[in-house]
Structures are given as structure tokens and as C-alpha cells.
Amino acid sequence: MKIQQLFVTLLCMGSIVGSYAVEVASPNGNIRVDFNIVDGRPTYEMSYKGKTVIRPSHLGLELIGSTDLMDKFEERNVTYSDFDETWQPVWGENKDIRNHYNEMLVELAQPAHGRFMNIRFRVYDDGIGFRYEFPVQQYLDYFPVKEEHSQFAMAGDHTAWWIAGDYDTQEYDYTESRLSEIRGLMETAISSNASQTLFSPTGVQTSLQMKTDDGLYINIHEAALVNYSCMHLNLDDKNMVFESWLTPDAQGVKAYVQTPDHTPWRTVMVSDDARDMLASDLILNLNEPCAYDDTSWIKPVKYVGVWWEMIGGGKQWSYTNDLPSVKLDRLDYTKTKCHGQHPANTDNVRRYIDFAAEHGFDQVLVEGWNIGWEDWFGKSKDYVFDFVTPYPDFDIEYLNEYAHSKGVRLMMHHETSASVRNYERHMEAAYNLMDKYGYNAVKSGYVGNMIPRGEHHYGQWLNNHYLYAVTEAAKHKIMVNAHEAVRPTGLCRTYPNLIGNESARGTEYESFAGNKPFHTTVLPFTRLQGGPMDYTPGIFEMDMKKINPNSSGHVNSTLARQLALYVTMYSPLQMAADYPEHYERFMDAFQFIKDVAVDWDESRYLEAEPGRYIVAARKAKGSDDWFVGCTANEDGHSSVLSLDFLDKDRKYEAVIYADAKDAHYRDNPQAYTITKKPVSSKSKLKLSAAPGGGYAISIKPVGK
Ligand code: NOJ
Ligand code: CA
């Protein structure tokens, strides 16, 4: 480990100060972090291969009702250590993950106030993490935070792929622009999903991906968000300095801290190769090891569902139109007629179970199975769902037995309508019901304004709730996939029954306004940094009018790209979201969805450029089969792929699902070709993706 401690005179933050700087470098020496006290303020900077990544930036917290933890600091002690360990995730992109870093713990004191605060830096070859730590002490015990002021001073007007800062939704299309253009583009950027809690014209969400003019890829996010509120970044666009901006609670308080405690890690990833951004395990590594002794019940899931019929097809979650909008416990569903547009009925669910069993899917999600959907959204009602009472046309006992008899499980759905206290009150009964019928996975959702009223989706209280739902589920051996919950920060390492999250704009928006064609070339650089996304790919019918005459939606992707998403959008939870009858029309292409794995021994990113294209290759868990996926933006993409990742001594057959020459995401999305050819580790494949297109390849060994 190369560690230096230097007396230096620095030209820092515009003033000359004599100070004692400390430094830590990454194991390969490419990344350096310097820490210093400048005019009493903790200050750090970061470089990569000698280039500035973060200019001198202050660190500190402003408190409510007591002296801030911002300045008048002195350094007490600095401790260095290193760490190198390889661990195995319960599921993941790779079977082995190396956690290799150098650490610098800076212990600080505010002598005038008798207080102590530490800042811990971990420096990896692909980025850094730092966090504030608050040891037990006499004059600092329990404190509300007015704001965290962690700065990230950029070295230029970088290109960024960003979504608007917002306390309640992440379901925005991305904008690609210079940092200096964010302010001017904000209004257009939010038009895809405006929320009332936009807090600043230059506020953005993390994970934020950037690229510098000299080819550095920089990503800012956070890791291990526990008992704290979620961080946004607010840009001072005169000086190109980002500063943390936490999500407030209903009182405007940004966080409540009680010693001993620490903040989540603030992360900055950097490389001169975009593929390293996608391959990085930094966020997972900064999380704690698995909290469970027995993880044998946690299994990746490939599923179909009674879902697109409502989202895309315009049918209903609700059972009836007859009932007035009254309290749930006053409704009597047995005395009313179904409106006939309720897909969560026994016959239809049985059809999905048969389809799942025939084609090897693990589970069938059923939304709209439970009473309450007649008036579920937009009224800020406390009590909407009880999570245990099925509609009269959904035979819960029979359908579970039928599914199990065919080797399939039903997947539970808990829409909370953001009435979180109500959900917590019913949670144990809801999980018990799942145990009774043999469900082992739940998709939950948090649509609408939060209850308790005034709380936000990404505040500390809610973040604690999402984790509570996951750890309570673990007691029942239940896996959780939460939609509309806070963006993931690698907690799936510690709690691997958190098998998915939405927390970004998913396929559902293709049926409303459509996603920008480059969307899936950005998400792996941003949203997926923190954990897998339940993106729900696999739409084969792009013209939404075909299933819903009232829809103006169009899925902005070719069919071949829909296949590729199973590889490029890493997740242990993958849905085939379209109608069974659409798959039956394209059985040869559907074969890829049937074949593709959901858990991996090894992953490689062959080509990548944010907003342009991503090509990933993955080796299936416990198998010699490889799967390759490419997703391209509206310009399309040409690749020459070397298959040198294949075993040198084996022969393989590749099945290539590609866009046809005249394919186009808008006009001709269903034009694809399927080609079979023998390949080996020496093969080079020339492939191209149409505008908004992609390709998918399955490669299986033959003979031997
Ligand atoms: C929004 C979710 O993202 C979607 O998947 C779900 O169907 C609806 N909420 C209803 O819960
Ligand atoms: Ca959603």
C-alpha cells in the first residue's frame, strides 16, 4: 500500500493555508484521495491517473438546534488499513466478488465544542466511498440534521445523464446534457413525469453518470442507505460544484442521528473505460455481508403475470364499477357484479399458470386479486387494502394448489397505495396468508402521496419502512420486489431476499408515453448501480393500439432488443411481460426468453458507452452456456465481437437473434432474423443493431 503523509502548503479553495494533508491511494495506485483541513473545514480531493476527478470539496453537516459539524475542526488521528477478500453473493452477476481497498480513517475534533466526528475513506481501483461516523461522546448524542453538505466539485462542464431531483418519484426519462445545461432543460426534463416535490432547478438524482471531455467516466451515488434519508445532488452551476441535498421529512428535518451512528457511503466511481462503470462492484462491496444464516430459500425468479392486460391493455385491477367510494370494510363485493374487465379471475389466471408451466417459468404474478382497487389511488386514503381478502372471482386456494401441482408458484402483489402505516398494520397477516398458500415472493408498490401525510418516498422514515418490510419478509422466507421504493444502494448484499426494485422508469411507461430509445443504454450506468431492476421486458407487440384501441403508446424498441434486455439489464428477477398469445405468435424468438438464465457465474461487458450502446456477455450459473445482449440507442450500433471468453477447448453453437436489415424501433420493430452457427473462442461475430434495436445470442457447448 502506497501511503504518504506530507506537510504541504496548499493553494486551496482560493486561499493559501499551511496544513497537514493526508493521502490514501487505491491498491493499483490509480486513484488518490487527499484529505485536508482548510480553515477548519474538512476538505477532500480525488484524482485518477493524475487527472482531477473531484476538486477540493468541503465535507460537513448542518444541525438543527446545536452547533454545526461544518467547521472549527482539527485532526486528532489518522489510521490506515487495507482489506482484500473475495466473497460469494447469494445471487449475482459473478459468483465471486473481490472486495479490495485501502482505507483511511480520519478522526476529527471540534475542540471548542468538545465534539468528535470521523470520516472514513475507502479507496478501490474503480472508485471511492466515504462516510461520516459519529462516535459515542459527551456533547453529541441525538441530533436532527438540517442538511448534509458533502461537496463534489467537478473539474469541468461534463456531459451528464440525469433525471430531475425529486423526493417522490424516479420514474423520469433521462436527459443527456452538459452540466451547465441542466437548469435550462429542467422544465422539459420533468414534463415526462412532473411531481410537486421538485426542489431545485439544478437538483438531480443519483446514481449520476457523467463523462468528461478527456474521456473519464465519473459516477456519483451512495451505498448502504440505512436509517438516513436519500441523497440528491444540487448543482452550483457557476462553479460546477454538486452538493448533497437530503430528502426532508414532514417537519423539514433531513435526518435524525443518534450516536454511535454513521451516514451511508457517498461514492464516486471513475475510469477511462465505460465498461468498468458497469462491471464495478463498489456499491455492493461497501455494504455489509449477508445478514442471514440460511439463504437456501432465496432463489432467482423468471415470471409471467396478469399485469400487461391492465397496464397496456386498459383492463382493470378493480372488480366492479357498482360500488360507491366508501371505506373498504363497508363494501360488500359478493352483492355486486363484476364489470367483466377484471383479468385477475380464476379462469384467466389458470391460463397464465398453464403457459408458465409449459414454458418453464417459475412464477405467475397476479395483480388486482385483492379487494380495494375500486378507489385506490389519489385520495390520500388511510385504509384502502387489507392484503388478505380476494375478490369473489379469484379462488386463492384453488389457484395456488393448481399452480403448485404444475411446479409453478403464484407471486403475491401488495399495492400499498403509499398508505404505509396501514401496510405495517397488516403486514404480519399478509405474510401469514402467503405462508398459508405457499407464496414465496411479493411485488409491493407505493403509488401516490405518502401516508403519514407530508412524508416523502425517499425520506428516512420510509427508508426504514422498506427495509423493515424486507427483514420481516425474511422471517417468513419471502422475497421482496418493491416498486416506487427508494433507489437501491446495494442493500441486496446484506438482505438478498430484496431480489428486485423498480425505482426508475420501467417498461410500463412504454405503454403510456413511451421511453426514449436510449433509455436502456443509460439505466445500467445509473439506476442499476445500486441493485437489480424489475424492468419487466419482453414486449413483442409494440403497437399498443393493437391491444387497447384507446392507447396512443408505442414501445420504443425492436423485438430483438427486448430479448437483449434479459442480459443487459441484470436482475435475478425477470418478467416476460407480454401476453401469452403474443409469445405464441413469435415462438422462435420467445425461445431466447425461455432459455436465458437469471443467475450467473461470470459477466463481462464487451462494449459500452452511456446513452449509445451496451453489450454484455454472461455465463449461466453452474453451466457452460453463455448469453450475450446488445441494446442500442436511436442510431443503432455495429459490433465485431470476439468470443475469446469461451472455453478454448470446446465447440459451441450460437443462436443469434438480430434485427433484420430493415428493422427500426418505430416503423418496423418486429423484423428479426434467427441464425444458428458453430462458434469457438476464436470466432469474431459481426453484428448490427437497428435504430432502437439490439441483438441477443445464446451460446451452448456441443459435443465433447
Ligand atoms: C405501479 C407499478 O410500477 C406497476 O407495476 C403496478 O402494476 C401498479 N403500480 C399497480 O400496483
Ligand atoms: Ca412504477
Counting ligands in written order, which one lies closest to the CA of residue 316?
Answer: 1
SS3 assignment, position 134: strand
Q: What letter would DSSP give residue 329?
A: G
324-to-321, 375, 628 alpha-carbon distances in Å: 8, 9, 52
- Does the C-beta of 415 come closer than 6 Å to ligand 1? yes
- pLDDT band of residue 335 (cuts 50, 70, 90) is confident
The single residue of 148, 222, 508, 541 carrying the catalytic annotation is 508
The string of DSSP codes covering 600-657 is: EEEEEEEEEETTTEEEEEEEETTSS-EEEEEEE-TT-EEEEEE-TTS-TT-EEEEEEE
pLDDT digits (tens, 9 = 90+) for 525-565: 999 999 999 999 999 999 999 999 999 889 999 999 999 99
Ligand with the closest atom to the CA of 445: 1
Question: Quick one: average pLDDT of 388-398?
Answer: 96
Instruction: Please tell me whether residue 124 adopts helix, strand or coil conformation.
Output: strand
pLDDT at 1 over 60: no
DSSP 8-state secondary structure symbol assigned to residue 186: H
131 strand-pairing partners:
120
State the pLDDT at residue 703. Answer: 82
**Residue, of 15 and 363, whose pLDDT is higher:** 363
Closest residue by Cα to residue 517 from 605, 389, 611: 611
Which range has the worst mean pLDDT, 16-30, 41-55, 558-572, 686-700?
16-30
Mean pLDDT for the chain overall: 95
**CA angle (419 as vertex; 416, 423 as ends), nearest 5:** 60
Encode 621-635: b = buried (16+ Cβ within 10 Å), e = exposed: beeebbbbbbbbbbe
Residue 519: enclosing H or E segment and its boundaries? helix 519-522
pLDDT of residue 28: 98
- Report CA-CA distances (Å) from 574 to 304, 365, 392, 427, 594: 9, 12, 30, 25, 11
With a cut of 60, say whether residue 11 has pLDDT above it. no
Ligand 1 lined by 534 (C-beta under 6 Å): no
Average pLDDT for residues 700-704, to the nearest whole number?
A: 87
**151 C-alpha to ligand 2 centroid (Å):** 31
Q: What is the pLDDT of residues 119-155, one digit of tens each?
A: 999 999 999 999 999 999 999 999 999 999 999 999 9
> Which residues touch 650 (CB under 8 Å, ≥6 apart)?
624, 680, 681, 701, 704
Residue range 432-447: mean pLDDT, rounded? 98
- Residue 121, helix vs strand vs coil: strand
Taking residue 558's Cβ as centre, other Cβ atoms within 10 Å add up to 33
Distance CA 579, CA 307 (A): 9
483 ligand 1 Cβ < 6 A: yes
Q: Is 312 in the pocket of ligand 1 (CB under 6 A)?
A: no
- pLDDT cut 70: percent of the chain above it: 95
**DSSP code for 248:** P
Q: Is the pLDDT of residue 8 over 60?
A: no
Torsion region of 417: left, alpha or beta (phi above 0 gives left; psi -120 to 50 gives alpha): left
508 is catalytic: yes
3-state secondary structure of 421: helix
Contacts of 38 (CB under 8 A, 6+ apart): 10, 12, 13, 15, 17, 19, 56, 58
Q: What was the pLDDT predicted at 594?
A: 98
Residue whose entry in the numeric block shows the C-alpha cell 481501483: 125
Atom of ligand 1 nearest to the CA of 317: 10
Q: Other C-beta atoms within 10 Å of 91: how many? A: 21
Q: Flag whether pLDDT at 452 surpasses 50.
A: yes
Q: For residue 315, give the ligand nearest its CA.
A: 1
To the nearest 10 degrees (0 to 180), the angle between helices 460-475 and 420-437 is 20
CA 644 – CA 630 distance, rounded (Å): 17
pLDDT at 17: 39
- The mean pLDDT value for 95-99 works out to 98
Q: What does the pLDDT look like over 594-622, one tens digit per residue?
A: 999 999 999 999 999 999 999 999 999 99
Per-residue pLDDT, 383: 84
For residues 93-116, average pLDDT: 97
Edge-to-edge strand list for the sheet holding 479-483: 498-501, 479-483, 441-445, 409-415, 363-366, 301-306, 573-575
- CA-to-CA distance for 171 and 190, rounded, in angstroms? 10
- Give which of 599, 697, 627, 664 is closest to 90, Cα–Cα: 599
Distance 311 CA to ligand 1 centre (A): 8
Query: What pLDDT does 316 receive?
Result: 97
Q: Which residues contact 541 (CB under 8 A, 6 or more apart)?
A: 547, 555, 578, 579, 582
The reported pLDDT for the residue numbered 14 is 33
Q: Which of 188-192, 370-374, 446-450 has the lowest mean pLDDT?
A: 188-192
Q: In the prediction, which pLDDT does 195 show?
A: 66
> For 265-314, how does the pLDDT look when each residue is reduced to its tens digit (9 = 90+)?
999 999 999 999 999 999 999 999 999 999 999 999 999 999 999 999 99
Instruction: Compute CA 457 distance to the chain's CA centroid, rounded to the nearest angstrom.
Output: 15
Note the pLDDT of residue 443: 99
Pick the closest to residue 210 from 184, 174, 238 (CA basis).
Answer: 174
Check pLDDT > 70 for residue 20: no
Out of 366, 414, 483, give the residue to mutate to test ligand 1, the one with the largest number of ligand atoms within 8 Å of its CB.
Answer: 483
Report pLDDT digits (tens) over 161-172.
999 999 999 999
And the C-alpha cell for 240?
A: 460546477
Ligand 1 pocket test, pick from 193, 307, 317, 367 with the greatest ligand atom count within 8 Å of Cβ, gives: 367
What does the CA dihedral 444, 447, 450, 454 come to, rounded to 10 degrees?
150
Per-residue pLDDT for 2 more than 60? no
- Is pLDDT of 657 > 90? yes
Residue 529 has a pLDDT of: 98
Q: What count of residues does the chain have?
A: 704
Q: Tell me if 71 sits within 8 A of 41, measured CB to CB.
A: yes
DSSP 457-496: TTSHHHHHHHHHHHHHHHHTT-EEEEESSPPP-STTTT-T
| pLDDT of 330 strictly over 90 | no
Rounded distance from Cα 350 to ligand 1 centre (Å): 21
- Decide if 492 contacts 223 (C-beta within 8 A): no
Q: Chain-centre distance of CA 576, in angstroms? A: 19
Residue 703 CA to residue 699 CA, distance in Å, equals 13
Q: What is the pLDDT of residue 196?
A: 62
Give me ligand 1 centre to Cα 358, in Å.
26
3-state SS assignment for residue 354: helix
For 208-221, the pLDDT digits (tens) are 999 999 999 999 99
Overall average pLDDT of the 468-478 stretch: 98
3 state SS for 264-305: CEEEEEEECCHHHHHHCCHHHHCCCCCCCCCCCCCCCEEEEE
In this prediction, residue 197 has a pLDDT band, given cuts at 50, 70 and 90, of: low
Assign 240 to helix, strand or coil: coil
Q: What is the pLDDT of residue 19?
A: 54
C-alpha cell at 402: 393448481
Q: Indicate the pairing of strand 479-483 with strand 142-148.
A: unpaired
Residue 483 CA, ligand 1 centroid: distance in Å: 7
The span from the CA of 285 to the CA of 494, in Å, is 10
Tell whether ligand 1 has an atom less than 6 A from the beta carbon of residue 173: no
**% the chain with pLDDT above 90:** 91
Q: What is the pLDDT of residue 326?
A: 56
Asked if residues 522 and 161 have their Cβ atoms less than 8 Å apart, the reply is: yes
State the number of CA atoms in the 13 A half-sphere of 595 facing the CB.
Answer: 23
CA distances (Å), origin 224, targets 265, 325, 473: 6, 41, 19
Please state, in angstroms and rounded to a whole number, the distance separating the CA atoms of residues 417 and 423: 9
pLDDT > 50? residue 4: no
> pLDDT at residue 5 above 60?
no
Q: How far is residue 676's CA from residue 190's CA, in Å, rounded to a whole number?
A: 44
